[in-house]
A and B are shown apart, each in its own frame.
Chain A
Amino acid sequence: MHELSIVASIVDSVTETMAAYPGSRVKEVRLRIGALASVIEDSLQFCYGLGTQGTPLEGSTLIVKILPVRMHCDGCTSDVEIASLQSFRCPHCNEPLTDMRQGRELELDSIEIEEVEATV
């Protein structure tokens, strides 16, 4: 359950960013997570609800984009997506794959913020 630590890191970064936007609130937080990043989206969503309470992120929506594992295949001399995480072999030529190009990302991509109208 390191999802809670991950949420804590997200809260820190977003809170830091929000200091530059006084009077705004966070609507959405968007992540890019590699399929091999060992993060389970359900636990992440669950921990997000808990970990954002009492922070500027409270009530915001977490959007997780899962990135498939992409490997470079020497046989095909091109990048291929593996079909299953249980076999690191090229789906075209069966070559064993060792050169990962995508799949371990744990990225905070962007946030959507809403400016709350100033009272005149």
Chain B
Amino acid sequence: MTTRIVELRQGILKKNDELARGLRSQFETAGVLVLNLVSSPGTGKTEFLQGTLRELISSGSRAAALVGDLETDNDARRLAASGAPVRQINTHGICHLEAEMVSKHLDGWNLADLDYLFIENVGNLVCPSSYDLGEKIRVALLSVTEGEDKPLKYPTIYNSADVAVITKVDIAEAVGFDRATALKNISEIRPGIRIFETSAKSGVGMAEWLAYLAELRPLR
């Protein structure tokens, strides 16, 4: 009996990576800025996105959203209230979005008609970090209620982010949020990252975030 080694040297998620690369160039060609929102369940992605979409739409920007959810379409319904086109990606128990799911849900949308496309990932701090969706900007959110050390516990996702958003600052005081430690922990994992401190409920910090979005998309 003879044995031999066969070299494969390939990415395990090669199919996803290739699809994501294709999506990225499709998005660039269409001139749409794509953002992937990741966080724990309940951080406030949908609330934050709803506020963002409402403001963008009312200021004349063209924005749409895809929202991943394990089983329900509650988030899609909440987001659609902003007036933006919204599609639900039901992952049927899969704990993250993949490029193929995004690709399938773009059917019939003319990307060139959009300025912004937001993708709300499944609430999960581990799995989404491995799956490139072709986004330009990965946004990692952290709420004031979930502990200042979250970034230290989940360095993979916070390190892969392009911007960080702290949510629910309206209740920061009530829950004894240690702002300085949270900011320090995020920067320790991702030095130099831009951090927004927001509340989608009270509107605090949303203007800075919207100014950043406008800055990112100077064309038009």
Contact = CB atoms under 8 A, between A and B. Distances in A.
Interface residues of A, number: 37
A104 to B, nearest CB: 8
A6 interface: yes
B12 A2 contact: no
Interface in B7-55: 7-15
A17 B188 contact: no
A97 B6 contact: no
A106 B12 CA distance: 6
Contact of A2 (B7, B8, B10, B126): B126
Contacts of A97: 191
Given A1-B95, A38-B156, A107 B127 contact: no
A115 B10 contact: no
A88 B5 contact: no
Contacts, number: 105
Contact of B15 (A9, A17, A112, A116): A9
A13 B8 contact: yes
* Secondary structure call for the A interface: mixed
B4 interface: yes
B57 interface: no
B96 interface: yes
B8 A111 contact: yes
A102 to B, nearest CB: 13
A111 to B, nearest CB: 5
A36 B3 CA distance: 33
A97 to B, nearest CB: 7
A80 interface: no
Contact of A114 (B2, B11, B14): B2
A120 interface: no
B159 A36 contact: yes
B9 A107 contact: yes
A38 B10 contact: no
14 contacts: A2-B96, A5-B94, A6-B130, A21-B6, A86-B155, A86-B189, A88-B159, A88-B188, A88-B190, A96-B187, A107-B9, A112-B4, A112-B5, A116-B1
Interface of B: 1-15, 94-96, 98, 126-127, 129-131, 152, 155-157, 159-160, 187-192
Interface of A: 1-2, 5-6, 9-10, 13-14, 17, 21, 27, 31, 36-39, 85-89, 96-98, 104, 106-117
